[in-house]
Amino acid sequence: MMDLKGPAITDDEKRFLLNPGVGGVILFSRNIVDSVQLEELCREIHSMRSPALLISIDHEGGRVQRLTCGVTPLPAMSRLGDLAEHSGLSRAIEAARSIGNLVGSELSDLGIDINFSPCLDIEYHRSDVIGDRAIHGNPNWVGAIGYAIWSSMDEFGVSGVAKHFPGHGWAVNDTHVAVAEDLRDQSAIASDLVPFQQLISAGLKGIMPAHCIYPMHDSNPAGYSDYWIRKVLRNDMGFAGAVISDSLSMRAAHEAGSMVQRILASQSAGVDMQLVCNDRCGLEAALIVTETFPYRPGLEARLESLRPVKKQKLSKAARADALRFVEICEQLTRTDQHHRG
C-alpha cells in the first residue's frame, strides 16, 4: 500500500499503481482539496485496476483526522470513555455505534474503503503519542466501545482496521521518531489483548501491529515478529483476517534496515500488506524484489475480505443522533479543558 504526493495522481504514481505488487493507497491531508476533488480521486484510483485498489485513511477522531472537508469533525475517542464514566457504558456504546454509523456513511460516500480505526490501545497515562486516542484504561470498556465503532462503520460500508496490536499504551516513546519498548511480561500484557480478542471473536477482518518491541517475548518489533503475528495473533487468538503494517517509514521500523529489508522482515513475520510512505526509491526497489516472493496461501482472500459492502444509507434521524453524540463528547472536552485550565 502506497501514498500519493498530492491531490492528483502523477504519471509516475500511475506506473506504481498499475504494478500488481501494489494493493492499495493511503490518503493524507495533502491529497485532499475538497469533497468533490476527493470523490473524483477515489473514482480514478478505483478505476485503474480490477479488482479495484483499496483506498484507506486514518480517521480516528481528535488529532488523528486526515480528512476535514465534507465530513463531520470527530472528538478524540477518549471522550467515549469519559462518557462511559459520566453516563454509563451502555450510553457510551450507543454513542460509539451512532458515531461509527456516521463515519462509515461519510467515508463510504467519498469512496474510501478502509479506516485505520479503532485504536484499541489501553490508556495507561504513559504514552503521549497514544494519549486521548485511547478509549479508556479499562480493557473491557475499550473492547465494547471499540466493537461498536468497528461494527457500525462496517454496516455503512467502511472496513475498520484495529490497532496497534498487541498494544502501544504502555510504551512511552513515539514509534514515529524513536524505538519504543514495553518491558512487561506476558501476564501484564494479557490485559492489552482483551479488546483485540473481543473484536476478533466478533469477526474483525483487519489488524495493524505496533512497531513497539516487547523484549520479554521477542527482540523484534511486533510487526516483524513471528511470535506476535503467527503464534499469538493467528494461532492463539484465532485471527483469520488481514494484517496490515503501520508505516514502514516510521523510525521504529528502521530496525530491520533498508525499505526492502523492512518489507522482507514484515512479510516473513506473516504480515499481509506493507504500508510504504514517503519513500519512492524504497518502493521502487521493493516492487522489484516482491516479484520473487513465494506464493502465500490465502493472501488474496484475506485482503479481499477488507473490501466493504455498503449495506444501508444513513437516515436523517440517525445522522441527527450522531451529531448530538458528537456534541456531547465535545462538551466533555470543553469541561475537561476548563478543569485543567
Domain assignment of residue 95, given as a range? 80-274+283-340
Assess if residue 23 is contained within a domain: no
**Number of domains into which the chain is organized:** 1
Question: What cell was used for 1?
Answer: 500500500
Assess if residue 64 is contained within a domain: no
- Asked if 92 and 84 count as a contact pair (C-beta separation under 8 A), the reply is yes
Helices assigned H by DSSP within 183-315: 186-201, 226, 259-269, 280-290, 299-304
Q: What is the longest distance spanned by two Cα atoms in the chain? A: 58
The pLDDT of residue 103 is 97
Assess if residue 220 is contained within a domain: yes
Label residue 102 exposed, middle or buried (CB < 10 Å: 0-12, 13-18, 19+).
buried
Question: What cell was used for 303?
Answer: 485482503
Show which residues are catalytic. 176, 246
Assess if residue 73 is contained within a domain: no
Distance between first and last Cα of the chain: 42
Assess if residue 180 is contained within a domain: yes
Assess if residue 35 is contained within a domain: no
pLDDT tens across the length of the chain (341 residues): 999 999 999 999 999 999 999 999 999 999 999 999 999 999 999 999 999 999 999 999 999 999 988 899 999 999 999 999 999 999 999 999 999 999 999 999 999 999 999 999 999 999 999 999 999 999 999 999 999 999 999 999 999 999 999 999 999 999 999 999 999 999 999 999 999 999 999 999 999 999 999 999 999 999 999 999 999 999 999 999 999 999 999 999 999 999 999 999 999 999 999 999 999 999 998 888 877 777 778 999 999 999 988 778 899 999 999 999 999 998 887 666 545 54
Assess if residue 9 is contained within a domain: no
Please state whether the peptide bond connecting residue 166 to the residue before it is cis, i.e. omega within 30 degrees of 0: yes
- Asked if 160 and 174 count as a contact pair (C-beta separation under 8 A), the reply is no
* Residue count of the chain: 341
Label residue 5 exposed, middle or buried (CB < 10 Å: 0-12, 13-18, 19+).
middle
Q: Identify the bridge partners of residue 247 per DSSP, sorted by sequence position.
A: 275
| Side chain identity at residue 173, one-letter code | N
Assess if residue 197 is contained within a domain: yes
Write the CATH number for 257. 3.20.20.300
Q: Which of 299, 226, 297 shows the shortest CA–CA distance to 265?
A: 226
Q: Please state whether beta strands 242-247 and 206-209 pair in parallel, antiparallel, or not at all (unpaired).
A: parallel
